[in-house]
């Protein structure tokens, strides 16, 4: 189930907000410029479906989203036990960073936490299958799909060079365990 937990960035033990209500999640994230939606597709492709089949299943949503945002392309990413260099990749994702383009993900299968550091707050967003999140460019964040990830997601982007991570050097992610 989707979930949002908000903390002060100096107090990881005292949540200010914790909700599993999708409209409330969208409202709270919208206040900081983050887009969050639930897509209810009548067709969910199998976990091992070819990338083309996954893209085709969500084509109506992707066309609408790309028309609204000006994004030019989408692809499918899988993170699981077979992912090469998984421990190093996880370490990289767990380092606070920014991008020069919005980071847009739609979760087809599995789950992952986007953890955003905005002003003096931490927004820990558990995204599950059916969730779309768009983290605006420049927002410090990190990502965790756990020690044994099994994620299939759509990535939507305008220019792939915008996906290069710019690390902040802050180790704040180590103080906020994923919930």
- pLDDT digit of tens for each residue in the chain (179 aa)? 999 999 999 999 999 999 999 999 999 999 999 999 998 877 899 999 999 999 999 988 888 888 888 777 889 999 999 999 999 999 889 999 999 889 999 999 999 999 999 999 999 999 999 999 999 999 999 999 999 999 999 998 877 666 678 888 877 777 776 66
Q: How far, in Å, are 64, 88, 134, 158, 161 from residue 69 at the CA level? A: 9, 32, 10, 9, 17
Tokens read off for 58:
């969500």
Report the 10 Å Cβ neighbour count for 36: 22
The C-alpha atoms of residue 25 and residue 167 are separated, in whole angstroms, by 26
What pLDDT is stored for residue 161 in this prediction? 67
Pick the closest to residue 78 from 114, 115, 50 (CA basis): 50
The C-alpha atoms of residue 98 and residue 135 are separated, in whole angstroms, by 9
What pLDDT is stored for residue 68 in this prediction? 84
DSSP state string for 2-23: -EEEEEETTBTTS-SEEE--HH
What pLDDT is stored for residue 176 in this prediction? 73
**Helices within the chain (DSSP H only):** 22-30, 51-57, 59-69, 86-93
Reported as type and span, the H/E element at residue 99 is: none
User: What pTM value is reported for the model?
Assistant: 0.92
The C-alpha atoms of residue 156 and residue 151 are separated, in whole angstroms, by 16
């Amino acid at each position: 189930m989707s979930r949002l937990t908000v903390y002060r960035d100096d107090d990881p033990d005292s949540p200010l907000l914790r909700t599993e209500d999708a409209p409330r999640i969208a409202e709270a994230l919208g206040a900081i410029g983050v887009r969050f939606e639930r897509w209810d597709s009548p067709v969910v492709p199998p976990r091992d479906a070819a990338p083309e089949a996954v893209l085709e299943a969500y084509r109506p949503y992707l066309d609408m989203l790309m028309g609204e945002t000006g994004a030019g392309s989408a692809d499918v990413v899988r993170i699981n036990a077979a992912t090469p260099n998984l421990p190093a990749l996880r370490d990289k994702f767990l380092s606070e960073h920014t991008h020069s383009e919005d980071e847009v993900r739609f979760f087809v299968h599995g789950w992952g936490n986007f953890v955003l550091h905005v002003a003096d707050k931490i927004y820990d967003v558990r995204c599950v299958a059916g969730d779309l999140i768009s983290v605006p460019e420049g927002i410090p964040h990190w990502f965790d799909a756990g020690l044994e990830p099994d994620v299939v997601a759509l990535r939507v982007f305008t220019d792939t060079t915008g996906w290069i991570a710019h690390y902040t050097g802050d180790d704040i992610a180590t103080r906020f365990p994923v919930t």
